[in-house]
Amino acid sequence: MDTANLFETFSEFKDLKNIDRETMMNVLEEVFRKSLIKHFGTDENFDIIINIDKGDFEIWRNREVVNDGEVEDENLQIPLSEAKKIDDDYEVGEEVTDEVKLEDFGRRAILSLRQHLTSKILEIERNNVFAKYKQKIGQIVSGEVYQVWKKEILILDDEGNELILPREEQIPSDHFRKGDLLRAVVIKAEMKNNTPLIIISRTSPIFLERLFEFEVPEIYDGLIIIKKIVRAPGEKAKVAVESYDDRIDPVGSCVGMKGSRIHGIVRELRNENIDVINYTTNTQLFIQRSLSPAKINSIKINEEEKSAEVYLDPDEVSLAIGKGGLNIKLASQLTGYDLDVYRETEEDEEDVNIDEFSDEIEQWVLDILKSVGLDTAKSVLELDKDELERRTDLERETIDEVTEIFKSEFE
């Protein structure tokens, strides 16, 4: 083990980990001084000269010249006879500076020094990675898929740092293989067992917000503000936007000519359907816009309960509710109001509210029917059984029983 081998350790980390020059100088000097203290009892009378560019170093010891036989500490003092071997002009009281060779430390000490150096550099690198990604929380990063596991994916950034994409932070339709490139937003950076743990996400609303900033210059420049984003990752999202400049159409700017701007975002999110909505402080209008593409007839708002009753034509109810109730769910999250939709039909004395059948049909079945806008017996009977099965996900046997009960009411 010699100087070259010791500096080989340093060079490996300097080239791969990009630790700055000043930090490396401090690390090397600290490691050497600790070794000096361990070997000689002190480091106060030593000068360490490090040349990072050449990859070498020198250690010089300063000792006071004393008369032969008066040496009390061989590390701090040198007898006159020994000093004159170095230079015949030395006198008692003067200071002698001589070089200490690395070999003088002994093989075991050199091995320990190298291990200490390696450990210190790794510690600095881990702290640098943590500090770097702590500042990147909320920003999009990219990397290469290195390993795919059942519960998470390991990604390496362009510096070889490890990023974790947990299963719950992946879009359901995401399918990545080793070597694939992906983008995600940093949502967490923490130290776990002295190792940086960097968590990224593709399902966070912040990821969608950053994608809009990349694709829409007006958002990046602050001319258009994203007020709120709600998502069902991989399926549907609603984005409320506002412009403080009347000359700028916020929705049109976000969508782009023939959808040119939003298409890139949709592809990145695995064809997630994105509704861009013009934000307004007018609650009724905002609820109406949030339930797009359905056309609303009227809205009754209860401010105390933060709820609203929305009335629509029968053929608009399914549009407002959306597949699996997703559209109305996201609209409720976007507006902050608990929304209920109602069919607005001409008076029909013969029709019966389905709640009237609670003694014959289980309540959970009635709740499912109401959740997709079917709140009267005739509204259920107007749909064929295949359509009922598609909308409600009820079993065919249950649908048969329910329709038979409703039919008997009108016979």
Q: Is residue 56 part of a domain?
A: yes
* pLDDT number for residue 310: 92
Per-residue pLDDT for 199 more than 80? yes
Q: Is residue 288 part of a domain?
A: no
User: Would you say the C-alpha torsion 305, 311, 317, 322 has a positive or negative sign?
Assistant: negative
- Tens of pLDDT, residues 111-131: 777 777 778 778 888 888 999
Asked if residue 100 and residue 8 are part of one domain, the reply reads yes
Asked if residue 148 and residue 127 are part of one domain, the reply reads no
Asked if residue 241 and residue 175 are part of one domain, the reply reads no
Per-residue pLDDT for 367 more than 50? yes
Q: Is residue 107 part of a domain?
A: yes
Place of tokens 């006879």: 81
Asked if residue 97 and residue 34 are part of one domain, the reply reads yes
Chain mean pLDDT for the chain: 87
- Tens of pLDDT, residues 23-80: 777 877 888 888 888 888 888 898 888 776 666 678 889 999 999 888 888 889 889 8
Q: Is residue 341 part of a domain?
A: no
Q: At 235, which CATH number?
A: 3.30.300.20
* pLDDT number for residue 71: 87
Asked if residue 114 and residue 36 are part of one domain, the reply reads yes
- Band (17; pLDDT cuts 50, 70, 90): low
Place of tokens 């006198």: 91
CA 36/CA 59 separation, integer angstroms: 10
* pLDDT number for residue 265: 95
Q: Is residue 109 part of a domain?
A: yes
Q: At 197, which CATH number?
A: 2.40.50.140
Give the range of the structural domain holding residue 248, as residue numbers without chain letter. Answer: 211-279
Asked if residue 148 and residue 122 are part of one domain, the reply reads no
Which residue from 318, 327, 373, 319 is spatially nearest to 235, judged by alpha carbons?
327
* pLDDT number for residue 157: 94
Range picked from 244-248, 285-289, 387-391 for highest mean pLDDT: 285-289
Q: DSSP readout, 48-67? A: EEEETTTTEEEEEEEEEEE-
CA 30/CA 71 separation, integer angstroms: 29
Asked if residue 110 and residue 9 are part of one domain, the reply reads yes
Q: Is residue 311 part of a domain?
A: no
Per-residue pLDDT for 387 more than 60? yes
- Mean per-residue pLDDT, 349-355: 76
* pLDDT number for residue 19: 67
pTM over 0.85: no
Could you tell me the CA-to-CA distances from 165 to 171, 198, 363, 402 in Å, in that order?
11, 9, 41, 45
- Band (1; pLDDT cuts 50, 70, 90): very low
CA 77/CA 96 separation, integer angstroms: 9
Range picked from 89-93, 213-217, 319-323 for highest mean pLDDT: 213-217
Asked if residue 222 and residue 180 are part of one domain, the reply reads no
Lowest mean pLDDT among 61-70, 117-126, 253-262, 304-313: 117-126
**Reduced to 3 states, what is the DSSP secondary structure of residue 359?**
coil
Place of tokens 């009635």: 366
- Mean per-residue pLDDT, 190-203: 94
Q: Is residue 305 part of a domain?
A: no
State the total domains in the chain: 4
- Which helix (H) or strand (E) is 77 found in, with range? strand 77-79
CA 33/CA 46 separation, integer angstroms: 8
Identify residue 19 by its one-letter amino acid code: I
Per-residue pLDDT for 158 more than 50? yes
Q: Given 106, 131, 156, which residue is the final one in a domain?
A: 131
Higher pLDDT, residue 26 or 2: 26
Q: Are strands 224-232 and 273-278 parallel, antiparallel or unpaired?
A: unpaired
* pLDDT number for residue 54: 64
* pLDDT number for residue 178: 95
Q: Given 201, 233, 248, which residue is the final one in a domain?
A: 201
Burial pattern 132-156, b for ≥16 Cβ within 10 A else e, equals bbeeeeeebbebbbeeeeeebbbbe
CB contact at 8 A, 114 and 9: yes
Lowest mean pLDDT among 170-174, 267-271, 343-347: 343-347
Q: Is residue 312 part of a domain?
A: no
* pLDDT number for residue 375: 82
- Band (179; pLDDT cuts 50, 70, 90): very high
Asked if residue 146 and residue 127 are part of one domain, the reply reads no
Asked if residue 110 and residue 155 are part of one domain, the reply reads no
Contacts of 257 (CB under 8 A, 6+ apart): none
Number of neighbouring beta carbons within 10 Å of residue 366:
19
CB contact at 8 A, 328 and 322: yes
Half-sphere exposure of 186 (CA within 13 A, CB side): 23
Per-residue pLDDT for 177 more than 80? yes
Percentage of the chain beyond pLDDT 70 is: 91
